């Protein structure tokens, strides 16, 4: 049984499809639990991925750093199109439970 970690913050990251696998793998490798939702949005209606990561407040910066490090800013040569293509939102969590 995994130890319970108090979930105090929910990090939502909206990433390009190209970055999602790398970011998700890095988070899981560092033992963060990640929920992945395939989503569509934006002006051009391109596919993207929303990752939800529930963490203790002390781990928020580590999650953000994993995302910054592993989400490319145009490594495929499209840097002008992809720069800043990841959106992060950190929300407070008042109640969390595993059922």
Q: Is the distance from CB of 12 to CB of 89 less than 8 angstroms?
A: yes
Q: Indicate if the alpha-carbon torsion angle 29, 46, 52, 71 is positive or negative.
A: positive
What are the C-alpha distances in Å from 75 to residues 49, 58, 81? 18, 30, 11
Q: Nearest to residue 93, comparing CAs of 58, 62, 56, 67? A: 56
H-helix or E-strand spanning residue 40: strand 35-41
> How many Cβ atoms from other residues are within 10 Å of residue 15's Cβ?
25
Give the predicted TM-score (pTM) of the model.
0.80
**pLDDT tens-place string over residues 18-36:** 899 999 999 999 999 999 9
pLDDT at 5 over 70: no
Taking all residues of the chain, what is their mean pLDDT, rounded to a whole number? 84
**pLDDT tens-place string over residues 73-96:** 544 444 445 555 789 999 999 888
């Amino acid at each position: 049984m995994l130890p319970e970690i108090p979930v105090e913050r929910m990090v939502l990251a909206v990433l390009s499809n190209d970055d999602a696998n790398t970011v998700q793998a890095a988070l899981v490798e560092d033992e963060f639990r990640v929920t992945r939702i395939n989503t569509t949005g934006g002006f051009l209606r391109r596919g993207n991925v929303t990752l939800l990561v529930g963490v203790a407040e002390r781990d928020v910066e580590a999650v953000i750093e994993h995302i910054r490090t592993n989400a490319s800013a145009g490594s495929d040569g499209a840097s002008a199109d992809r720069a800043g293509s990841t959106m992060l939102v950190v929300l407070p969590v008042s109640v969390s439970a595993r059922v």
